[in-house]
């Protein structure tokens, strides 16, 4: 493709398109005069709304088609919610950078008429595992669809509550919904998914020099540490594991050991690897 143009691959959901527009504007500032266009694609996860992400594993369901477009030269950058990216990328691909991270919190969205939800809709093993601590007697049902579809389902009585990412709601400009209450969850109540709140820009590895030094370095460091934990645990992005690193503090939720807090400093790749290995050893001794 021409060096004077950049093609962005994205899913076609409302949130994905908003995130892609943020990247398009960002790249326009990084590469003045360069034409930045958008290629909208439908992923397997978008098509198979009947699938349970927990049963299917989830890895690659919302990213594979975008990565194929990169490898086939149809796009230059794939735009992802970083939490959807597998910890191990396809050969020949790399994440070149991230936009500055937004809120990492989750939001408990519940019906106004319900104080303690009896039926909670979520397909996320991570959210289910942590919310069961607060709502041990609740029944859980799966829910799929974009953000507005989920909100419509809850307001329509499909369930008493659901849990959504604060960053997605903010990017869509949604801070209220008729008949529903939005309750932010503390990090100790709900440790976010690795990469939550970050927008990733994925490229072909041999294009790294073209796009070198773009993105927010602090966000990149945090997401790399969080994804490294998933990689070493051998679990996917839709596992019952929460991971959030900021300023040397690493909050981890593991379904076997619960909530943990660790000190992990940025002292180079080798020391980070050792620190994560120590954490895994601690998690697995419970």
- pLDDT score at 167: 98
- pLDDT score at 63: 87
State the burial class of residue 209 (Cβ atoms within 10 Å of its Cβ: 0-12, 13-18, 19+). exposed
CB atoms within 10 A of CB 210: 14
Q: State the residue for tokens 């021409």.
A: 2
Q: Is the pLDDT of residue 104 over 60?
A: yes
CB neighbour list of residue 148: distance below 8 Å, 6 or more residues apart = 14, 172, 174
- pLDDT score at 2: 47
- The two counts, helices (H) then strands (E), for the chain are 9, 13
CATH architecture of 106-184: 3-Layer(aba) Sandwich (3.40)
- pLDDT score at 43: 81
- pLDDT score at 56: 53
Task: Output the average pLDDT for the chain.
Answer: 92
Q: Is the pLDDT of residue 44 over 80?
A: no
Select from 3.40.190.10, 3.10.20.30, 3.40.630.40, 3.40.50.920 the CATH code of 5-102+194-284: 3.40.190.10
Contact 120, 150 (CB under 8 A): no
Q: What residues does CATH 3.40.190.10 cover in the chain?
A: 5-102+194-284, 106-184
Cα(274)–Cα(278) distance, integer angstroms:
6
What strand order describes the sheet that includes 77-81?
A: 35-41, 5-11, 77-81, 199-204, 93-98
pLDDT over 90, % of the chain: 82
Cα(106)–Cα(73) distance, integer angstroms:
36
Q: Is the pLDDT of residue 47 over 90?
A: no
Q: For residues 243-272, give the mean pLDDT.
A: 94
**Residues 162-176: pLDDT tens digits?**
999 999 999 999 999
pLDDT band per the 50, 70, 90 thresholds, residue 217? very high
Active site residues: 84
pLDDT band per the 50, 70, 90 thresholds, residue 59? low
Q: Is the pLDDT of residue 61 over 50?
A: yes
Cα(22)–Cα(164) distance, integer angstroms:
20
């Amino acid at each position: 493709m021409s060096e004077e143009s950049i093609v962005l691959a994205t899913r076609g959901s409302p949130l994905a398109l908003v995130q892609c527009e943020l990247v398009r504007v960002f790249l326009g500032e990084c590469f003045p005069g360069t034409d930045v266009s958008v290629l909208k694609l439908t992923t397997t996860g978008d098509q198979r709304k009947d699938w349970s992400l927990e049963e299917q594993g989830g890895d690659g369901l919302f990213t594979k088609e975008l990565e194929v477009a990169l490898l086939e030269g149809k796009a230059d950058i794939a735009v992802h919610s970083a939490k959807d990216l597998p910890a191990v990328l396809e050969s020949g691909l790399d994440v070149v950078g991230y936009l500055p991270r937004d809120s990492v919190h989750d939001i408990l969205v519940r019906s106004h008429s319900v104080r303690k939800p009896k039926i909670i809709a979520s397909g996320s093993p991570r959210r289910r595992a942590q919310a069961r601590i607060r709502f041990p007697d609740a029944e859980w049902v799966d829910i799929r669809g974009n953000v507005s579809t989920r909100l419509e389902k809850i307001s329509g009585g499909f369930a008493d509550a659901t849990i959504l990412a604060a960053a997605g709601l903010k990017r869509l400009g949604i801070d209220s919904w008729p008949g529903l209450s939005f309750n932010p969850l503390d990090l100790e109540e709900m440790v976010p998914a690795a990469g939550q709140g970050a927008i990733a820009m994925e490229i072909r590895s041999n294009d790294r020099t073209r796009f070198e030094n773009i993105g927010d370095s602090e966000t990149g460091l945090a997401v790399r540490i969080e994804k490294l934990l998933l990689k070493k645990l051998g679990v996917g992005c839709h596992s019952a594991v929460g991971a959030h690193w900021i300023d040397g503090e690493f909050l981890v939720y593991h379904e076997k050991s619960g909530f943990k807090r660790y000190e992990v400093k940025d002292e180079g790749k080798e020391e980070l690897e050792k620190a994560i290995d120590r954490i895994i050893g601690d998690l697995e001794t419970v």
